[in-house]
Amino acid sequence: MIVRERFEQEMQEVQKQFVEIATSSIHALKTAFDALLEQDLEKSLKILEDDLVINRLEEEINDRVILLIAKQQPVATDLRRLMVLVKAASDMERVGDYAVNIAKETIRIGKDPLIFPTNNLQTMCNKTVEMLENIITAFTEEDTVRAKEIAELDDYVDDLYGATVTLLLRAGAENPAHIHQITHLTFICRYLERSADHATNIAEHLFYLIKGKHYELNN
């Protein structure tokens, strides 16, 4: 196998690992939120355990890219692709971390009945998962038009986050006895909003890959 073919094969393996870490992180986020709604503490604990796999995947991607750069000395466009994959993998690892954070908040809430309607939180989770799933498709297909459309959805999640936090603070003022749970739900709201931000980050990475310039798609 000639050098270029070997390099292309290695690059494809890194891309496969990126899809793997993305899929695992999105699954973790969905599962963590389901555990909250079900108040399933065992499921939440499993999220914490499975995060080790996500962390290991990111390390493997980083190590593989470092070896590729050291051994193959890629040209500028290939180097940009490798660095973008490292950044995108880091974003997805952070989504996995937010899934862990949601699981921890669920464990802290315990079996106490949820006193706050979860409609807004459910909508935030659904939209965030939709953004993440779609941006991974756009990223692998190098579809910048679709990526820009996905990044623009972040405004919707941000607005819903602001409205939900306002409602949570009001609920805490009206029910001081439940401030403990309200605080945990507010954190969960924040973790969902931050996860959506990482979809925008990946969209920006794609623009850098294709255009060779940095773009801020959502200020």
pLDDT tens per residue across span 134-154: 999 999 999 999 999 999 999
More confident residue, 198 or 67: 198
More confident residue, 170 or 11: 170
- pLDDT(3) > 90: no
Task: Estimate to the nearest angstrom the gap between the alpha carbon of 98 and the chain centroid.
Answer: 8
* CA 79 – CA 202 distance, rounded (Å): 17
Half-sphere exposure of 177 (CA within 13 A, CB side): 3
pLDDT, one tens digit per residue, over 206-218 is 999 998 887 787 7
CA distances from 130 to 30, 76, 125, 136 (A): 11, 33, 8, 10
Q: Are 154 and 196 in contact (CB under 8 A)?
A: yes
Question: Please, what are the domains in the chain?
Answer: 5-211 (1.20.58.220)
Residue owning tokens 């180097």: 79
Tell me what the mean pLDDT of segment 167-179 comes to: 91
Q: What mean pLDDT value characterizes the chain?
A: 92
All residues at 6 or more sequence positions from 20 whose CB lies less than 8 Å from its CB, including other chains: 57
**pLDDT at residue number 8:** 81
**pLDDT at residue number 31:** 97
pLDDT tier at 73 (50, 70, 90 boundaries)?
confident
Residue among 95, 61, 56 nearest 103 (CA): 95
Q: Are 149 and 216 in contact (CB under 8 A)?
A: no
Q: Which tokens belong to 117?
A: 């309607």
pTM to 2 decimals? 0.94
- pLDDT(1) > 60: no
Q: Which tokens belong to 200?
A: 């925008």
